Chains A and B, each alone.
Chain A
Amino acid sequence: VSGQEFTAVHRDALQEVANVAMGEAGAKLAELLDTFVRLSVPRILISDAAEVPDTLGKLLEPHNAVTAVRQSFLSRIQGEAIVLFGEAGCAELADLMGYDGVLAPSERREVLLDIANVLVGACLGGVFRQFGLELGFTAPSLLAEDTPAQRLIRADTLDWSRALLVEVNFRLEQGAFSSHLIVLLPERSIDRMRESLDQIIAAL
């Protein structure tokens, strides 16, 4: 039921909240990395959990191998953020993140975990601040390395029936590095987010 109650009005409100948050996040990431950062306008989708793997496959090039990092966030609204990386541009970004020299495989993983953490924190922090919520995070961990996008998540391992997907694309000015941020919310958290959006809409 809750999925239906998440109306077009809620969706528009969330789009606004997300746009503001990504604007802030982009500016902060640019300051941190000392380079121009482009964050796409977030795409918001509500999906049946069973369709999440296919949806991920459609958002990305379904057969391109991606590396994925996952991170849980905790507050009244809980969920999971997944950051997907292509192959290119990791070394360049590593240098911006304070790594020296050629990267060993474990360092490459650490860079990706770092980037994922920074992206998730900047983007979600901005959204949830507008809801008046302070987020906690678990440590990021590798979900998959060089795996086709639609095989990242198996529908039967999701323990909820509907999911809210927020997709943001992150690129460096030079264009070499790009990644996608996807936020998955379980049904209970979708309900609570709708309540928070109702408050924002009422305050307008």
Chain B
Amino acid sequence: MRNLMPDRSELLEFAVDRANIGIFALDREMHVLLWNRFMADHSGKESAEVIGRNLFDCFPDLPRRWLEKKVAGVFLLKNFAFTSWEQRPYLFRFHHGRPVTGGIDYMQQTCTFVPVKNASGEVSAVCVTLVDATDTAIAYRQLERAMATVRENARCDGLTGVFNRRHLEERLSEEFYRSRRYGGPLSLVMLDIDHFKRVNDVHGHLAGDEVLRIVAARVSEAVRASDIFGRYGGEEFGVILPGTDIAGARVVADKLRELVSGQPLAYKDVGLEITVSCGVAQVAPEHTTYEEVIRLADTALYRAKREGRNRVCA
């Protein structure tokens, strides 16, 4: 009976050729000695086309100086060498065949260079295995993007898109200590929409939401790049003004008040007459925490409300 089982060397040859990773080998002069099916399929060059030829003649795009040094190191040191997609996304410009990649242009590759030693212990060739790491790279990029979104969401207000209370307080705390340590004035404006409850009651909550969005947008456009603006809660907003004293802060607050109050807000076909009141406070040497500044600005804000709204108090 004929033995139909492949022998060991046939199996080895098959395994190397059909393994789902790239396997190739190079001699000291960078001539290709071995080129498996994976390499042929992805490069479009059959083993017959590349074996015996210089690798750089076949693939002029390869980073020559660096790769020659890498292979020389394997021969000289009789040592493994590695490349990872995390630092060097690819050696060969192979297509990855994935429809959704998020900006990944070529197959991401992780390579291991293994010295092939002869009987006397000298390195006679370098065997390279190339693993497709594109899926890992895509998953990693998606994770990074998700993390960026999470970080962004954690500091932004969902309705208006401006900074939320937590981020506002964090920044105020930072600026507070910076001002204490290095000097320089620091002021805070608290801005509150007048009769906001009435807007909700008369026009509905969607109108209220729209008013919040428009006020936030108008103020956002008006503040300087160095100012930090966010929604403190409800219909109350805060603007941190580093390097600004109380007089300057009053000017800013009055400008913001006019910007909102001076022009009706369009909601559907209705023009809503909206005004805001502002309380202004500056950090003083006797303040020990940033919360005291918030309390001070809030007190000024309530005075502005009591004195008839649509005004700035300090």
Residues of A within 8 A of B (CB): 28-29, 31-32, 97-100, 106-107, 109-110, 113-114, 117-118, 121-122, 125, 136-137, 139-141
Nearest A-chain residue to B78, judged by Cβ = A125
Q: Which of B66, B77, B82, B110 contacts A98 (CB 8 A)?
A: B66
Give the complex CA separation of A117 and B76 in angstroms.
13
Chain B residues with CB under 8 Å of A125's CB are: 77-79
Give the complex CA separation of A100 and B70 in angstroms.
14
A137, B80: Cβ atoms closer than 8 Å? yes
Q: Which 7 A-B pairs have the closest CB atoms?
A: A121-B79, A98-B69, A110-B87, A139-B82, A98-B66, A137-B80, A98-B65
Q: Is the interface of A mostly helix, strand, loop or mixed?
A: helix
How many residues on chain B are close to A (CB under 8 Å)?
Answer: 22
Chain B residues with CB under 8 Å of A117's CB are: 79-82
Give the complex CA separation of A117 and B67 in angstroms.
15
Give the shortest distance, in Å, between B137 (CB) and chain A (any CB): 13
Give the complex CA separation of A106 and B89 in angstroms.
10
Q: Which of B66, B69, B72, B82 contacts A113 (CB 8 A)?
A: B82
Give the shortest distance, in Å, between A144 (CB) and chain B (any CB): 15
Tell me if B84 counts as interface (CB < 8 A to partner A).
yes
B84, A100: Cβ atoms closer than 8 Å? no
Tell me if B73 counts as interface (CB < 8 A to partner A).
yes
Give the complex CA separation of A98 and B86 in angstroms.
19
Give the complex CA separation of A28 and B66 in angstroms.
18
Chain B residues with CB under 8 Å of A109's CB are: 86-87
Chain B residues with CB under 8 Å of A29's CB are: 77
B66, A139: Cβ atoms closer than 8 Å? no
1/0 contact trace for B98-115 toward A, CB 8 Å?
000000000000101000
Tell me if B292 counts as interface (CB < 8 A to partner A).
no
Give the shortest distance, in Å, between A2 (CB) and chain B (any CB): 29
Chain A residues with CB under 8 Å of B82's CB are: 113, 117, 137, 139-140
Give the shortest distance, in Å, between B96 (CB) and chain A (any CB): 19
26 contacts between A and B (CB under 8 A): A28-B76, A29-B77, A31-B76, A32-B72, A32-B73, A32-B76, A32-B77, A97-B66, A98-B65, A99-B66, A100-B66, A106-B86, A106-B87, A109-B87, A110-B83, A110-B87, A113-B84, A113-B87, A118-B73, A118-B79, A121-B78, A122-B79, A125-B78, A137-B80, A139-B84, A139-B110
A100, B79: Cβ atoms closer than 8 Å? no
Chain A residues with CB under 8 Å of B69's CB are: 32, 97-98
Known: A109-B87, A139-B82, A139-B84. A28 touches B77 (CB 8 A): yes
Give the shortest distance, in Å, between A21 (CB) and chain B (any CB): 12
Chain A residues with CB under 8 Å of B77's CB are: 28-29, 32, 118, 121-122, 125
A98, B68: Cβ atoms closer than 8 Å? yes
Give the shortest distance, in Å, between B265 (CB) and chain A (any CB): 46
Give the complex CA separation of A110 and B73 in angstroms.
15
Give the complex CA separation of A39 and B46 in angstroms.
45
Chain B residues with CB under 8 Å of A99's CB are: 66
Inter-chain pairs besides A28-B76, A110-B88, 8 sampled, C-beta below 8 Å: A28-B77, A100-B66, A121-B79, A121-B81, A137-B80, A139-B82, A139-B84, A141-B84
Give the complex CA separation of A117 and B114 in angstroms.
13
Give the complex CA separation of A121 and B70 in angstroms.
13
Give the complex CA separation of A110 and B110 in angstroms.
12
Give the complex CA separation of A109 and B84 in angstroms.
11
1/0 contact trace for B107-149 toward A, CB 8 Å?
0001010000000000000000000000000000000000000
Nearest A-chain residue to B112, judged by Cβ = A139
Give the complex CA separation of A141 and B87 in angstroms.
10
Give the complex CA separation of A137 and B67 in angstroms.
20
Give the complex CA separation of A100 and B87 in angstroms.
15
Question: Interface centre among B69, B72, B78, B87, by most A CB within 10 Å?
Answer: B87
